[in-house]
Amino acid sequence: MKALTDHQLRTFFHAAARDFDVRVPVRLYDGTRSLGTPDEGELALCGGALPGKITAVFFPQMEWFLHVDENSVRTPEAPAKPLLVAGWTAADLDCLEFVDRFFAAHYRDSVYFSKREGAVLVGVSGFCGANGAIQRIAGKNCDIELIRTDHHYAVKAYSEKGQELTAALPGEDVPEGSIAHLVTQSEALPQDDLQILRRASELLLADKVPPEFWRKIADRCIACTACNLACPTCTCFDVFDRATSNNGTRRWRLWDSCQLDGFMREASGHNPMGEEGLRTQRRIHHKLAADVRRWGHMTCYLCGRCDRVCPTGIGIVAVCREMVEEYGNHV
């Protein structure tokens, strides 16, 4: 295990760009952080989870997946280089593990996996959360983990590809025991929000939350869709065709949102989710109850994005807290 400085990591990412399409957290001119190339801004690994949907690097907001014209039927070409993506929190990596399974189930999504396969994942943990707070150590689901200590990053490789990439790093060798205190602190992080979600899931599975609760929450929703746009495990998309030159047609997919009025509207005009309360219920019920039945577990991994971006305070943890306070004694 190596100990690297910020400068050495910048050098590493620039060097990796010879063989990979490298995406790292960068600080933009307005001070915010985003996923970009190493040349697009100052490296900004610290600061907690990136604001945007980090899984968008493999499942972008809008992309075409089929082109038909007079001469051919084709799909997008595979990327010229595999991706190397840094900045994943432990929760983000849990999200991606689920999204991988989602896009592989029943029908394997070749467009998604053309970007996902061969990608190198670099997690970030340790004292790199907001304002230097400790961020949970992943210890899995990534090829390389950058564990921030007081003065440097301990670089730990898990996969064969990660070991290959880090073998020639110039940093000082450090023993595994040097991060033992961080592992202990990571394991001791509070799990209050997780307990809230589990309790809310029990209530939803037992059908103990009445419609009036969802109508009350929906009254505060302005349908900005920020929750869906930020959530790493939201996978709904719409499909549309657009004409191209040479009498061609290109088929696109675009993220959809269960908070929009037309989300489930049928061609007949019937809309089984025509009430805003039903759509708000679906957003929470989907991840905490329907997916429990389908996948065997909740599909919210507490990345925190929806609660941070919601302008009216109805992110998933906030709603579940209200739910448990009102109906928690009903089971």
Q: Is 48 exposed, middle or buried (0-12, 13-18, 19+ CB in 10 A)?
A: middle
What phi-psi label fits residue 269: left (phi over 0), alpha (psi between -120 and 50 degrees) or beta?
left
**Is 181 in the same domain as 223?**
no
**Is 10 in the same domain as 147?**
yes
Instruction: Give the long-range contacts of residues 95-98, CB within 8 A, separation 24 or more.
Output: 95/54, 95/55, 95/232, 95/233, 95/301, 95/303, 96/54, 96/55, 96/58, 96/121, 96/141, 96/232, 97/141, 98/233, 98/295, 98/299, 98/301
| Residue 81 confidence (pLDDT) | 97
**Is 247 in the same domain as 283?**
yes
Q: How far apart are CA 93 and CA 303, in angstroms?
A: 10
Identify which of 77, 3, 81 has the alpha carbon closest to the alpha carbon of residue 37. 81
Q: Indicate the number of domains in the chain.
A: 2
**Is 41 in the same domain as 136?**
yes
Identify which of 220, 190, 206, 192 has the alpha carbon closest to the alpha carbon of residue 280. 220
**Is 139 in the same domain as 198?**
no
Cα torsion 269, 272, 273, 275 to 10°: value is: 80
**The domain boundary residue, chosen from 152, 187, 222:** 187
Q: How far apart are CA 167 and CA 308, in angstroms?
A: 38
**The domain boundary residue, chosen from 158, 187, 216:** 187
**Is 236 in the same domain as 275?**
yes
Q: How far apart are CA 304 and CA 145, in angstroms?
A: 20
Identify which of 100, 69, 87, 90 has the alpha carbon closest to the alpha carbon of residue 301. 90
Is there a contact between 38 and 84 (Cβ–Cβ < 8 Å)?
no
Is there a contact between 239 and 251 (Cβ–Cβ < 8 Å)?
yes
Q: How far apart are CA 321 and CA 5, in angstroms?
A: 40
Is there a contact between 177 and 136 (Cβ–Cβ < 8 Å)?
no
**Is 289 in the same domain as 152?**
no
| Residue 89 confidence (pLDDT) | 98
**The domain boundary residue, chosen from 151, 168, 187:** 187
Counted residue by residue, the chain has a size of 331
Identify which of 39, 141, 63, 145 has the alpha carbon closest to the alpha carbon of residue 99. 141
Q: Is 189 exposed, middle or buried (0-12, 13-18, 19+ CB in 10 A)?
A: middle
- Give buried/exposed letters for 210-239 (b at 16+ CB in 10 A, else e): eeebbeebbeebeeebbbbbbbbbbbeeee
**Is 142 in the same domain as 276?**
no
**Is 167 in the same domain as 201?**
no
Q: How far apart are CA 197 and CA 203, in angstroms?
A: 10
| Residue 124 confidence (pLDDT) | 98
**Is 213 in the same domain as 278?**
yes
| Residue 330 confidence (pLDDT) | 58
Structural domain span for residue 238: 192-327
| Residue 305 confidence (pLDDT) | 97
pLDDT in tens, the chain (331 residues): 899 999 999 999 999 999 999 999 999 999 999 999 999 999 999 999 999 999 999 999 999 999 999 889 999 998 999 999 999 999 999 999 999 999 999 999 999 999 999 999 999 999 999 999 999 999 989 999 999 998 899 999 999 999 999 998 887 888 888 899 999 999 999 999 999 999 999 999 999 999 999 999 999 999 999 999 999 999 999 999 999 988 899 999 999 999 999 999 999 999 999 999 999 999 999 999 999 999 999 999 999 999 999 999 999 999 999 999 999 985 5
**Is 146 in the same domain as 243?**
no
**Is 82 in the same domain as 157?**
yes
Q: How far apart are CA 238 and CA 254, in angstroms?
A: 5
